[in-house]
Amino acid sequence: MTPIRRIAPDVGWLPISFVNVYFVGQPGEPWVLVDTGLPGRAKQIIAAAEARYGAGSSPEAIVLTHGHFDHAGNALELAEHWDVPIYAHELELPYVTGRSAYPPPDPTIGGAIGFLSRFMPSGAYNFGLKVRALSGSDVPGMPGWEWLPTPGHAPGHISLFRSSDRVLLAGDAFATVDMESWFGLLTGKQKLSRAGAPFNNDWQATRASVGKLMTLAPTVAACGHGVPISDNKLPHRLQRFAARFRPPRRGRYVSRPARVNEHGVVSLPPAPLDIVPFATAASLIAVGIVLGAGYLDPSGKRHR
């Protein structure tokens, strides 16, 4: 079992594949789970929680930075197991109560995560009566923390911040790994980067959210993807990252965002032509024609 790693005296980090979940609270005291990872990992999270807090321990609540499949994948199973509520921003509620699918991802922006997004779901979850809307600025079960709306990646995306020690749980407002590079994804090398770019459905809002988080001058940045960064130079690094932040050169949501409201998606910009599926299909068809026409015998030699 992967152990929970400490990033602050009362904040634990558990990587689950390429996404992170966070445990906020000291052992022996009330605690909260922030995000829930990829589907099918509930038992791993429960085991990690019991190793940290003791057998039978349950959190005060589950808080979602947003409802994408890699952050909310185990939310309902865990909420039912622990009998606790799930908190999310009110603009996320359509996507976690089954009322609307998210704006579809845009693989045409390119890059590693752009390619992989073709195989990732963007539908809605339905957590039913377990869901509660966040209100005010306090985080339920997390004294001293505040939540901030940081939309762009998702309509109701939030980040969590504690000013006393400047710890930031940024969700997918940005990442600490380059998800658009195959090298970055495979090595996990720390780098301030755009997070989940094909799922960003409002690039101006995404950029504004990064700018908002930069003004907090965090010294710990724990994101949904990548190894958390703890560094006194982080405020300067984040300032430089925010100043250089740019949307992709092309893409469905680059010049025009998805329109959403409290009921879900209202309208979408037209989907650009995605040639990759066509190119893949054409290649497979060509191989089939060659094999079917008998140009290759079982030994791989051409017939004459």
User: Rounded distance, CA 43 to CA 300, Å?
Assistant: 48
Q: Please tell me whether residues 263 and 303 are part of one structural domain.
A: no
201 CB-contact burial (10 Å; exposed 0-12 / middle 13-18 / buried 19+): buried
Q: What is the CATH number of the domain that holds 89?
A: 3.60.15.10
Question: 287 pLDDT band (50/70/90 cuts)?
Answer: very low
Enter the tokens of residue 123: 């539908």
- pTM summary value: 0.90
Question: 279 pLDDT band (50/70/90 cuts)?
Answer: low
226 Cβ partners below 8 Å, 6+ apart? 20, 175, 176, 177, 188, 190, 191, 193
Q: What does the pLDDT read at residue 276?
A: 79
Q: Please tell me whether residues 14 and 74 are part of one structural domain.
A: yes
Strand, helix or coil for residue 187? helix
Q: Please tell me whether residues 287 and 155 are part of one structural domain.
A: no
Question: 275 pLDDT band (50/70/90 cuts)?
Answer: confident
Residue numbers of the domain that contains 295: 274-304
Q: Please tell me whether residues 290 and 259 are part of one structural domain.
A: no
Higher-pLDDT residue of 171 and 300 is: 171
Give the residue-averaged pLDDT of 85-109.
97
Q: Please tell me whether residues 297 and 180 are part of one structural domain.
A: no
Q: Please tell me whether residues 293 and 215 are part of one structural domain.
A: no
